[in-house]
Each structure stands twice: as C-alpha cells, then as structure tokens.
Amino acid sequence: MPIEILMPALSPTMTEGKLAKWHKQEGDEIKAGDIIAEIETDKATMEFEAVDEGRLGKILVAEGSEGVAVNTPIAVLLEEGESASAAKAAPKAEAPKAEAPKAEAPKPAAPAAAPAAAPAPAAKSGDRVFASPLARRIAQQNNIDLRAVSGSGPHGRIVKADIEKAPKGSAAAAPAAAGKAAAPVASGPGARQLADLLKMPYKLEPLSGMRKTIARRLTESKQTVPHFYLTIDTEIDELLSLRKRLNDKTEAKISVNDFVIRAVALALKKVPTANASFDDSGMMYYEHADISVAVATPNGLITPIIKQAESKGLTQIASEMKDLAARARDGKLKPEEFQGGTFSISNLGMFGIKQFEAVINPPQGCILAIGAGEQRPIVKNGQIVPATIMTCTLSVDHRAVDGAVGAQFLQAFKGFIDDPLTMLL
C-alpha cells in the first residue's frame, strides 16, 4: 500500500518547517538514503533523506510551502507494482497557513493557541506540553485538555492521532492554572494596527521561522528566568601583544574572540559550578565546556558551538569558529552544531559597544557579554597610565548559579585574559 512521507522533525525543538526544495519529482524512483528534499527549519536548511524505497507517486506539499507542521504528509511513495491511482487516493495534506498576519485588536490569552500561530506550550507541573497546530485546534474544538493527552510524535509531541484517541470534553484547561497568574498581555494596539490607524508608511516582511523562534525563546527567558548581572573590567594589552606574535607565526589568524572562548572554557574548568543548568528534576553540572558563540546572520542570531573547548588550543578554536560562523551565515549548520551548548558568549565589541547585558539562552545558566577594548586611564603603582580595557558582563540564572559562584567565575576569566600566557600552559 502507499507509504506517506511525513514532514520530519530534524531537531528536538522543531515544530514546523518550510519545504524549501524538492530534489525528486513525481514518477522518480527513490532508494533509501536518496536526498529527496531540502527542509528549512527555524535555524538552518537541511537535506531530507528517504528511508524507504519505491516510486514518488504524488507530491502533497508544494515547493516553497511554509509553516508545514511536523508529521504532516508531504508526499506519497508507491511500492513496486502500485499505480498512480493509489497515490491519488491517499489523504491530502492540510494547506500550510499563510505567513503574513492580519491586523487585529489585542485579545486576552486563550486556553489554546490560535490555529495559524506557532504552537504555544502549555504548562504541566513545570514542564512544557508540545502539540502540532492541527492537534491544538482539534483539542480546542472538542474541549480536550492537552495536558491530559500523551503524545506519540517525535520527542513526545502531541499529534492529530493522539487527540482523536482522547475522550471528548475531557476537562479543558482553565485560562490560568490555580495559584498562578496569567501571562502578561499587551494592553495597547499592536505595531501594525497602530501604523494602519495613523496611516504611517511601512514595509511588512513576514516573520521567518528563525525570527519566530528568537521572539518566543527570548520572551520566555526574560519572563521565566531570574536574571542577575555581574560586570568586570579586563586589561587586554598583553593579550593583543601575544595575539600579534602568534598570528605572525601561524596562518590560523587568532581573534580576540578566540582568546575569550579559550578563557571562558578554562574558567569553567576552574569553577565547574558555573557550568550549570537548572532543571525541575535537579541541578545539572556539565562535564565539558561546550561554548555557544552568538553569530549574526541575515535571518537572525544563531549560536554555533565549540564543543569541549577546554581541551582545544587557540589555533583549533580559531579554525573551528571560522568554519562554523561561515556555515551559520549560509544556513548550513547541522542541529548538533548549534543545539546543546552549556554556556554562551555574545561579543559586540567589533561594533564599538562598550558594555551590554545579554539575555540568557535557556536551559543554559549563563551568558557572557563582551564589549569593545578601548583605551582608558587607569592607576598603576600610584600613577595614571593608559591601558586597553575590555568590559565584560555576565548574565546569570539565579536558580542555577549563585552570586558568589558567578563572581568566582569572572575572577578566573579575568585572570586568563589579563595574563594570556597562562592560557598556553
């Protein structure tokens, strides 16, 4: 019988994607391992390999379609001896929702997400409940509480079949859980509604998957993670001098940021309790320093990872970072190359920013914001002398890392930056 090819979950956080390109056409023979399509997720474009053999009988989702939910049928594969009529009898995929939103007056938060919105997780004893947009709509229509449904999709995600098995009218979730305040809702008009009312000229660009994810995750971070901030000044004259000497002798061309990555990794090795995440099941302390480094791309921010950075030298870090940054800007990173870091670095020094406070990237416990190195007067041995100072601010999740631990980490980091030769020992 015909085999449905489903939109794959190419990463643990993927809920929908864009079918960027078909590599096979209807009637083409397909073998296991063949690249049949390119799928654009919220962070990268990845190739989709076939797992079954047969003939591509029907394409259900057109090339370029956006907002295609995970587990949605995108094509039908025919086995040997089956005719094209079998493919025509297969169920047709639900049309993806349009990307451009319509202007609406602000509405109070509803128990379940609207059909066209990205799936909004519901709370369940501190955990997040994931469901496809279609599953959420059916649950809302049938008064079914998603928190009472077990998901059979990737990573426990609730899909249409799970909702169909659940009893109708089963205790729909209340708008706000008992004892918990409802999420804040904007009280004024949205940006687009206000611009339309005032006849302000503007150009509207539909939200990319990456921009939606950035907006959702950073909002969650500021609303749910108790941030606090620690700032320290480092002196980088010796670092700049050492960098010049090393770059004169190697083709790697080490950057100041490479020194920062190395210093962070060594400081985490020295203060391992700063390399931590909070989880409802307990505190998590990581064995390795997997450093996520923020890279700006045309679609938004992405954080490729230097894994086990504590075991890598400056030239290796420089080489890996150059490769990761280039592929990040081209949207060619693999999921494991930008998911799962233990600590983040965000560097705006190249733009002349003196100091800033970065937003934590959950579930990580810390992110270090690096400012520009600039000449400032300092006091040494009772004398005012010039020095190149770089201001660094640590944003900390207070559930995972206490103030004293954050201060100890910054002291260790400063020691490596001020005396960079210690990083080479």
Q: How many CB atoms lie within 10 A of CB 127?
A: 12
pLDDT at 97 over 70: no
Per residue in 20-74, pLDDT (tens digit) is 899 999 888 988 888 899 888 877 778 888 877 888 889 999 998 888 988 899 9
Same domain, 297 and 417: yes
Per residue in 229-283, pLDDT (tens digit) is 999 999 999 999 999 999 998 888 999 999 999 999 999 999 999 999 999 999 9
Domain presence at residue 47:
yes
- Which CATH number does the domain housing residue 58 bear? 2.40.50.100
Q: How far is CA 12 from CA 28, 44, 154, 423, in A?
A: 31, 13, 8, 35
- Higher local confidence (pLDDT), 16 or 232: 232
59 sits in the region (left: phi over 0; alpha: psi -120 to 50; else beta) called beta
| pLDDT attached to residue 184 | 58
Domain presence at residue 100:
no
Q: What percentage of the chain exceeds 90 in pLDDT?
A: 47
- 398 has catalytic annotation: yes
Looking at every residue in the chain, the average pLDDT score rounds to 83
| pLDDT attached to residue 402 | 96
- Higher local confidence (pLDDT), 126 or 40: 40
- Which CATH number does the domain housing residue 126 bear? 4.10.320.10
Per residue in 365-385, pLDDT (tens digit) is 999 999 999 999 999 999 999
What SS3 state is found at 20?
Answer: strand
Lowest-pLDDT choice from 76-85, 228-237, 289-298, 410-419:
76-85
Q: How many CB atoms lie within 10 A of CB 153?
A: 21
Which residue type occupies 334? K
> What residues make up the domain containing 135?
122-185
Alpha carbon distance 425, 423 (integer Å): 6
pLDDT at 122 over 60: no
| Residue among 245, 239, 274 at smallest CA distance from 258 | 239
Same domain, 279 and 151: no
Q: Please tell me the total count of domains within the chain.
A: 3
| pLDDT attached to residue 175 | 41
**Could you tell me if 319 and 328 are in contact, meaning their C-beta atoms sit under 8 angstroms apart?**
no
Domain presence at residue 378:
yes
| Residue among 252, 258, 264 at smallest CA distance from 240 | 258
Q: Given 23, 227, 288, 398, which residue is catalytic?
A: 398
For 182-310, list the strands marked E by DSSP. 227-235, 276-279, 282-285, 291-293, 295-297, 300-302, 305-306
Alpha carbon distance 355, 372 (integer Å): 8
